[in-house]
Structure 1
Amino acid sequence: MLRLPSRPSRVRRLGAVSAVAAALGVAALTGCAGQVPMHPAEDANNPACADVIVRLPDTVAEQKKRTTNAQATGAWGEEAAVQLVCGIEPSGPTTDTCVNVNGVDWVIDESSAPIYRFEAYGRSPGLAVYVDGEQVSGTDVVVDLSAVAKELPQERKCTSLGDTLDLTKPQA
């Protein structure tokens, strides 16, 4: 079962992303021969994940939706170039890049490029999307999935150093 830690260390994240990369490889071998083999997240039975899954688009980054064999998951593309998992433990603060796309903060883990992990930051339950950057654009993926990510309650937002400094006071 794919378990994504709440505050993953770089080594544990590499292991989790490697597992997803292996799943993408298995999916590539299966082509369009049926369901994409995936593992549900620990909190996959959360009702908020059901709200996300019923709203998944038929296409993401111009890739057609595939069926999966696990609760609260989604996949798109002949080789499952995009895989979504709802119900992960939300990550805590990180120094990874965070971008806001259509009102959703996405943290980008590039440590296993060309497989990129995008997490809808500050949402609970957590939502992670794995993208094979050799097949599709991660930007296109998060644009297409931001509307469904908004279904998850937002508890935190990404901030930058500028957000935490009081620039009205004279600096020493």
Structure 2
Amino acid sequence: MQHFRFPAPARPLRILAAAAIAGVLLSACSPVVDVAPAKDAANAACAPMMVALPDAIGDAKLRKTNSQATAAWGEPSLLVLRCGVNVPGPTTDRCVSVNGVDWVIKEGDPVWTLTTFGREPATEILLDPNKISSATVLADLASSASKLPATRNCVGQADLQNAENLPPSP
């Protein structure tokens, strides 16, 4: 009885072909999230934050996106992050500080927009607070967002009143 054996160079090719097919099949299970990039997404300052993003926020796992300086978590996506959005100026919108990172919060129905304040470029998060806790999101992203240095902080009404009562500087 004769046995047929592939020549030695054919074995690595078979293994490589099987790995490529498996990669295609596995990537079909988790589609890439379509996210429009921010205007300043190519800003190199986004890179340190993007590489420091957590693999999960709460129970939502990090997914691949199709644009630079973007990220998404959950399937379907529970939150989307974009670095390089317009830097917010002075605002009367609510601003909160979580673990040293200030965020301006615009409550929508149902999507909230949370944007870093005092950091350039700014980072934006879109989420539905009925599906994932904004407190969890901001706490889990604080370490990554702090990779962009702060140049100013949120100032509240109490801060303004205290500043008005200070004696003039010499």
Shorter-chain TM band: 0.7 to 0.9
Gaps of 5+ in 2: 1-28
Report the identity percentage.
43
Check the 8 A contact 1:86/1:127 in 2, yes or no. Answer: yes
List per-residue Cα deviations over 1:90-147 (Å, max 9, x = no partner). 011111111110000111100x222111111111001000112221111110000011
**Aligned equivalent of 1:69:** 66
Number of equivalenced pairs: 137
1:87 is paired with a residue whose SS is strand
**Aligned equivalent of 1:80:** 77
Aligned-partner Cα distance in 2 for 1:121–1:82? 19
Check the 8 A contact 1:116/1:132 in 2, yes or no. Answer: yes
**Aligned equivalent of 1:116:** 112
**Aligned equivalent of 1:133:** 129
**Aligned equivalent of 2:93:** 96
**Aligned equivalent of 1:29:** none
**RMSD of aligned residue pairs (Cα, Å):** 1.4
1:44 is paired with a residue whose SS is coil
**Aligned equivalent of 1:152:** 148
Aligned-partner Cα distance in 2 for 1:135–1:144? 16
Structure with higher Rg: it is 2
Aligned-partner Cα distance in 2 for 1:95–1:158? 10
Moved over 3 A (4+): none
Aligned partner letter, 1:114: P
- TM-score w.r.t. the length of structure 1 is 0.76
Gaps of 5+ in 1: 1-31
**Aligned equivalent of 2:165:** 167
Check the 8 A contact 1:113/1:133 in 2, yes or no. Answer: no
Residues 123 and 168 of structure 1: is their aligned pair in 2 closer, same or farther, counting only changes over 3 Å? Answer: closer
1:119 is paired with a residue whose SS is strand
